[in-house]
Chain A
Amino acid sequence: MRVLPLYVVMGGWLSMPALAADAESWMARLAAAEQKQGFTGTFVYERNGSFSSHAVWQQVEEGQVQERLLQLDGAPAEVLLVDGQMQCATDDLAAQVREAQAWHGQRLDPKALSEWYEFREIGDSRVAGRPAVALAVVPKDQHRYGFELHLDQDTALPLKSLMLNEKGQLLERFQFTQFTAGSVSAEQLKPGADCNPVTVNRREANPTSPWRSDWLPSGFTLLDANERPSPASSETVSWLSYGDGLAKFSVFLEPLRGALVEDARSQMGPTVAVSKRISTADGDVMVTVVGEIPLGTAERVALSMRASSEQAQR
């Protein structure tokens, strides 16, 4: 005989808004739990064309969060984070990160998110041998994907996360197969020999760019921007990062200098990449939008990019 948690019993006669409120309180618990709870576990990650398994150790001591992540199959990709700042990483895993924003504590803001997503409690579930509560995170418009989150009844940490597109197709799966709450020993937090020390410039986010977007899906704001050399030419690529608190996408702009290049698009599980040629006063530019957003949204963002100087002239 299953023991019914109180909220399920209550759910029998309370109305739907009460269930939504329940889901919101779970989200609040999740937001609070992420930086408070030590744990160790293994999880799998699956998307179209990729399946991998990983181990994670997290320790919280005097408000400092230490997290070690290690891929268990294939190349042993590994990273050690202290308060979200990379301490060491295997070569390829962090090769693209040269600077990082300073840590500002809480990452998830359920209240702000509830403007763009609806939280619903679906019911009980069980993940990694632990009782869990399943929540639906349903987008309120077509510009972002939905999630199914399974939170640990005990710690409110996410044991399972499924990203679903507008047709309900599974785009990615993140799921613990083993999870133990509690403190982690210093030995377990010690990275392997291939985890090379990383020095990343810490700085505040710099949401200014010579580029701007004429249209953004509601809720998305410019989080950060910078300029980097192109991976394939001597041009400078402008990078802009946008997010709605849950979903994120990047915009890359590279001048074409007369090169004949067609538009392109590709999808890797949850991540879409759309390249569109746009015309500016300074010649054509290839805009590439990469992120966990629907294809149509990425295309619309790509076509809406403008040079900031053009606005100033008008």
Chain B
Amino acid sequence: MSREALHESLSAVMDNEADELELRRMLAGDNPELRATWSRYQLARAAMHKELIEPRLDIASAVSAALADEAAPVKAQRNGWKGLGRLAVAASVTVAVLAGVRLYNQNEVAGPQLAQQAPQPSISVPQTSQGPAVLAGYSEQTEAPAQAAADGAPVERWHEERLPSYVRQHAQQAAFGNGSESALPYARAASMEER
């Protein structure tokens, strides 16, 4: 039985989405690839919910390393410094833990955006990075791109003048242009109109 499958089943059980029979069935399955894939899905979902199933950063070893580094000077120092030394250890442990959590979350959240490379023009459809962060995701669509277009080189402006229109055309045509009726493409199209 692989570790991943165990994690997956554990998480399903933890999520109250699996019963014992299902757990047994899952563990008895003969498709390790599917199981591995699903385990990754679970992990990503957990990360979205900021629940760590499997801490990827070895915080424990970072903590031991910090303790090891600090242990020697603490011994060499006089009694008066001992307390301070412990404080320093505690502080560096805290930093290690906080930094670890921060990095982990950033990795997960930034994942889908990796494709968006810094020097390339970004599209004016709402991104949280634009405009005041009062309402996350509700950027001021009319002002931000205009400003960016004025600042940006003509090369970038070419895309900024077209991409939002193309994206909306794609979304709206998918939602309303082919006689389907489904709430999901409608919601996608509506999300492109937010401002």
Contact = CB atoms under 8 A, between A and B. Distances in A.
A77 B193 contact: yes
Given A138-B37, A271-B171, A52 B163 contact: no
Interface stretch (A7-15, A181-189, A213-221): A7-15
Given A123-B22, A288-B166, A93 B172 contact: yes
Given A4-B19, A16-B29, A267-B113, A231 B161 contact: yes
Given A261-B159, A270-B188, A295 B44 contact: no
B101 interface: no
Nearest to B193: A92
A268 B183 contact: no
Q: DSSP majority for the A interface?
A: strand
Contact of B159 (A11, A45, A250, A275): A275
B173 A123 contact: no
A164 B45 CA distance: 9
A74 B171 contact: no
Given A85-B179, A97-B173, A249-B170, A168 B161 contact: no
A84 B181 CA distance: 5
Interface in B94-140: 108, 111-113, 115-117, 120-123, 125-128, 136-139
Nearest to B22: A123
A266 B158 contact: no
B178 A101 contact: yes
A306 interface: no
Contact of A290 (B34, B120, B156, B170): B170
Interface of B is mostly: helix
Contact of B176 (A48, A94, A134, A231): A94
Nearest to A48: B112
B38 interface: yes
Contact of B181 (A67, A136, A200, A249): A67
- Counting chain A CB atoms within 10 Å of each CB, the highest count among B21, B178, B194 belongs to B178
B192 to A, nearest CB: 8
A174 to B, nearest CB: 5
Contacts, number: 252
Contact of B31 (A16, A107, A249): A16
A47 interface: yes
Contact of B21 (A9, A118, A148): A9
B166 A273 contact: yes
A102 B194 CA distance: 29
A259 interface: yes
Contacts of B127: 49, 268
B121 A174 contact: no
Interface in A213-254: 223-224, 228, 230-232, 239, 241, 248-250, 252, 254
A14 B194 CA distance: 48
Contact of B187 (A45, A148, A248): A45
Contacts of A4: 19, 21
A191 interface: no
B21 A12 contact: yes
Contacts of A86: 176
A104 B117 CA distance: 41
Contacts of A35: 181
A104 B179 contact: yes
A285 interface: no
Interface string A150-194: 000000001001101101111110100000000000000000000
B178 to A, nearest CB: 5
A205 interface: yes
A146 B17 CA distance: 20
B177 interface: yes
Q: Which 5 A-B pairs have the closest CB atoms?
A: A45-B187, A103-B179, A231-B165, A232-B161, A84-B179
Given A96-B173, A168-B37, A290-B170, 4 more contacts: A35-B181, A49-B136, A136-B41, A239-B169
Interface of B: 12, 17-19, 21-22, 24-25, 29-31, 34, 37-38, 40-45, 48, 108, 111-113, 115-117, 120-123, 125-128, 136-139, 154-156, 158-159, 161-163, 165-174, 176-184, 186-195
